[in-house]
Amino acid sequence: MDLVVAKGLSKRYGGIVALSEATFSAHAGEVHALLGENGAGKSTFIQILSGAVRHDAGTLKVDGADYRPTDPDDAQARGIAAVFQELSLIPDLTVEQNIWFRREPRTLLRTVDRAQLRRRTREMLDRYEFPPLRPDVELRRLTLAERQIVEIAKGLAKDPRVLILDEATSALPAREAEWLLGLTRRLASEGRLVIFISHRMAEVRAIADRLTIFRNGRTVAAHEAGGVSDAEIVTQMIGRNLDRLYPDRVATATERVALRVTNFSSGRLDGASFSLREGEVLGVGGLQGHGQRELFQALFGASPATGTVELWGKPVAITSPRAALTGPDGIALVPEDRRGQGLLLTKSVRENLTLAVIRRFTERGLLSSRKEAELVREMVDFLRIKAQTPDQLAGTLSGGNQQKVIFGKMLLTQARVLLLFDPTRGVDVGTKGEIFQLMRDLAAKGYAILFHSSDMPELVHVADRVMVLRNGRVAAILEGEKISEESILGAAMLEGEAA
C-alpha cells in the first residue's frame, strides 16, 4: 500500500499557479525522485507535504488517512520531515542545539539536559556514519556543506517515516554527497520513504527506485527508474512549447573582444573564464544557484571577486558599480530585483532614467532641464515606454515598462557591455518580444551583452552562444546548432560530459 498519495493537488500564489492538479504516489521503503525544471512545482509540492504551506485544493493521504498539515510540527507528528534546501537552522545555536531544537531532553528544572543532548547526538551521528562534526560549535562558524549535513541530522533526529531531501547534495562536496546517497539507500532499506530531489541525473540514476516528473505545476509522468531513458526524462521535463516570440538571430559579433574574464571567482563562482565579443549576445545558463548571480554581481563591482577582467583589451579593476560604469565604454547591469535594486518606484520616469548620469545634465552645478528633457524624450520614444508623461511615477508602470525604464537608464550611461540578469522575469509576453528585439538591435549596434535567463528557451533562441555554469565553473560553451534545451540541461546536470 502506498504511504503518501496526492490527487488533484493545487496551489496558487496570487495570480500565479504553482501547482495544478498534481498527482503523486510513493510507498514505504523506496527512494522516490522528483524531477522538473526550476519552477515546475516540485518545491511547492514538498512544502505542502512538510507543512510549510497549505494547499488550495486536492487531497493528500498518508497511510490512507487524510493529511492536511497546518504547520511543520503537524507534519512531524505524522512522521514527515523535510531537509530544506533553504536551511532551517539557527546561526547562533550550536550544532547539537540545532539538531534537537524544540525537542531537547530536559532536566527536572526544565532546562536542557546537556549530557543527554550530547549523548543522543553522538549516538545518531555514529549510527548513520555522519561525516565528522563537532556538536558544541555554533552553526554560524560552519561552512555551507557542514550546515547541510547538520540539516540532514536534524531531519533524521525526528525519526521520520517520510524524509524529504530537497537538493541536499547540491551543497555537498563529492565525498559527502556519496555518503548521503548511501544513507538514502540505507534509510529506504529501514522501511522509510525517501523523497529525493536532485538536478544531478547520475544521482537519481544511482539511488531512485521510482521517479515522478513535474512540469509547469503538473505531474507529467511517473516511472520505474529502470524503465525510462535519460533522454525521455529530459524531454518530459522540458515539454514542447515554441512560439514566434523570438527575433531572428542575425550574427553581428565582430572579432573584437569586449570583455575577457579569466579565472574569475566570487562566492559560489569558482574560477570561470570566458570572453564576450562586441556585437554578441552570450547567454549564461545552468541550474539556479550555480554561480550566475555571483558572476553578474561581481562583474558589475557589486561584490568582491578574484581573477582578471579585461575590458576592451585593457585590464581593469572593477571594485564598485561606480568603477564599472565609469568611462564611455563601461559595464552596466540590469539587476535581478527590478523593484528593489533597479528602480526608485516613487520617482518619475524622467528621474529614474537620468539618475545614474545626472552629472551630464549639470552646468556649473545646476541641472540643465532642457538638455535632460530632450534625452529623456528620445529614450522614451526609442524604447517605446508606455508612460502618460515622463513625470509619471515609475511604480505605477507595468512590469514590462518598468524594465524598459531600467534599460533606458542603462543605455544613457553609455556603457557598452550590458549585463542582463533575468530581464524578462515577471514581464508580459508582448514586452518580452520587444526586449529580445531590443537586445538584438543593441548587439547590432556593437553592444556586448551577457544575458542570464531562468527560462531556458530564451537562452536557446536569443543568445549567439550559451555558457553553462555548473558548481561555479564553466561546464560548457555551446554554439550554433549545438544550442538546445537538451544540451543546456545536459551540461548543467550531467557530471563529466559535454565539458
Partner 1 sequence: MTPLAASRPGSPEAPNTRDWHGWALDRAPFLVACLMLAVIATIYGSKQTGVFTLDELNLDTAAAMTLMLAATGQTIVLIRGGIDLSIGGMISLGTVIAATRFTDDPATVLFWSLAILALGLAIGALNGLLISVLKLQPFLVTLATWSILNGVAMIILPTDGGSVPGWWIGFGYLQFLGLSSPVWMLVALVVFWWWFRSTRLGITIQATGSNEKSAFLSGVSITRINVTTYALSGLFAAGAALYLTTQTGSGSPTIGKDYILPSVAAAVIGGVSLFGGRGHLAGTLVGAFILTLIGNLVFVLKISSYWQPVASGIILLLSVLASSIADKAARGRMR
Give residues with Cβ within 8 angstroms of 359, minimum separation 6: none
Nearer to partner 1, 84 or 296 (CB): 84
How distant is the alpha carbon of residue 48 from its chain centre?
20
Looking at residues 13 to 52 of the shown chain, list those that interact with partner 1 (rule: CB under 8 A). 52
Which among 80-88, 391-399, 401-409, 419-427 is the span making contact with partner 1, rule CB under 8 A?
80-88
Question: What is the grid cell recorded at 201?
Answer: 541525473
Selected from 56, 104, 270, 351, the binder of partner 1 by CB under 8 A is 104
Residue type, 181: L
Question: What is the grid cell recorded at 445?
Answer: 549596434
Crossing angle of helices 144-157/174-189, nearest 10°? 10
Shortest gap between Cβ of 113 and partner 1 (angstroms)?
9
SS3 421: strand
Question: What is the grid cell recorded at 202?
Answer: 547520475
Nearer to partner 1, 127 or 359 (CB): 127
Nearer to partner 1, 182 or 399 (CB): 182
Dihedral pair phi/psi, residue 116, rounded to 5°: -70, -35
CA distance 384 to 398: 13
**Is residue 97 at the binding interface for partner 1, with CB under 8 A as the rule?**
yes
Which among 98-106, 304-312, 379-387, 474-482 is the span making contact with partner 1, rule CB under 8 A?
98-106
Residue type, 482: K
Selected from 43, 44, 76, 413, the binder of partner 1 by CB under 8 A is 76
**Is residue 146 at the binding interface for partner 1, with CB under 8 A as the rule?**
yes
**Is residue 359 at the binding interface for partner 1, with CB under 8 A as the rule?**
no
Residue type, 390: P
**Is residue 128 at the binding interface for partner 1, with CB under 8 A as the rule?**
no
Selected from 13, 16, 54, 73, the binder of partner 1 by CB under 8 A is 73
**Is residue 106 at the binding interface for partner 1, with CB under 8 A as the rule?**
yes
**Is residue 131 at the binding interface for partner 1, with CB under 8 A as the rule?**
yes
Cell 531590443, residue located: 438
Residue type, 79: G
Query: Residue 479 CB: number of other CB atoms within 10 A?
Result: 11
Shortest gap between Cβ of 468 and partner 1 (angstroms)?
23
Selected from 54, 122, 141, 384, the binder of partner 1 by CB under 8 A is 141
Residues in the chain: 499
Nearest to 354 by CA among 375, 334, 338, 384: 375
Looking at residues 246 to 265 of the shown chain, list those that interact with partner 1 (rule: CB under 8 A). none
Shortest gap between Cβ of 190 and partner 1 (angstroms)?
24
Crossing angle of helices 144-157/114-127, nearest 10°? 100
Q: Are 400 and 428 in contact (CB under 8 A)?
A: yes
Nearer to partner 1, 71 or 232 (CB): 71
SS3 288: coil
Looking at residues 381 to 420 of the shown chain, list those that interact with partner 1 (rule: CB under 8 A). none
The radius of gyration computed from the CA coordinates of the chain, to the nearest angstrom, equals 25
Nearer to partner 1, 112 or 477 (CB): 112
Cell 531512485, residue located: 208
Nearer to partner 1, 178 or 351 (CB): 178
**Is residue 92 at the binding interface for partner 1, with CB under 8 A as the rule?**
yes
Looking at residues 467 to 496 of the shown chain, list those that interact with partner 1 (rule: CB under 8 A). none
Shortest gap between Cβ of 207 and partner 1 (angstroms)?
22
**Is residue 2 at the binding interface for partner 1, with CB under 8 A as the rule?**
no
**Is residue 87 at the binding interface for partner 1, with CB under 8 A as the rule?**
yes
Nearest to 455 by CA among 242, 265, 278, 301: 242
Instruction: Give the CA dihedral 260, 266, 269, 275, nearest 10 degrees.
Output: 0
Nearer to partner 1, 75 or 467 (CB): 75
**Is residue 53 at the binding interface for partner 1, with CB under 8 A as the rule?**
no
Shortest gap between Cβ of 304 and partner 1 (angstroms)?
12
Selected from 66, 108, 110, 496, the binder of partner 1 by CB under 8 A is 110
CA distance 23 to 59: 9
User: Residue 25: which H helix or E strand, with range?
Assistant: strand 16-27
Size of the site for partner 1 (CB under 8 A): 38
Q: Are 450 and 259 in contact (CB under 8 A)?
A: yes
Shortest gap between Cβ of 154 and partner 1 (angstroms)?
8
Question: What is the grid cell recorded at 66?
Answer: 487524510
Dihedral pair phi/psi, residue 227, rounded to 5°: -100, 20
Question: What is the grid cell recorded at 256?
Answer: 573584437
Cell 528557451, residue located: 457
Looking at residues 160 to 219 of the shown chain, list those that interact with partner 1 (rule: CB under 8 A). 173, 175-176
Shortest gap between Cβ of 135 and partner 1 (angstroms)?
9
**Is residue 222 at the binding interface for partner 1, with CB under 8 A as the rule?**
no
Shortest gap between Cβ of 73 and partner 1 (angstroms)?
4
Shortest gap between Cβ of 378 and partner 1 (angstroms)?
43
CA distance 260 to 121: 50
**Is residue 105 at the binding interface for partner 1, with CB under 8 A as the rule?**
no
**Is residue 72 at the binding interface for partner 1, with CB under 8 A as the rule?**
yes
CA distance 223 to 460: 28
**Is residue 124 at the binding interface for partner 1, with CB under 8 A as the rule?**
no
Residues of this chain that interact with partner 1 (CB under 8 A) are: 52, 71-73, 76, 84, 86-93, 97, 101-102, 104, 106, 109-112, 114, 131-134, 137, 141-146, 173, 175-176
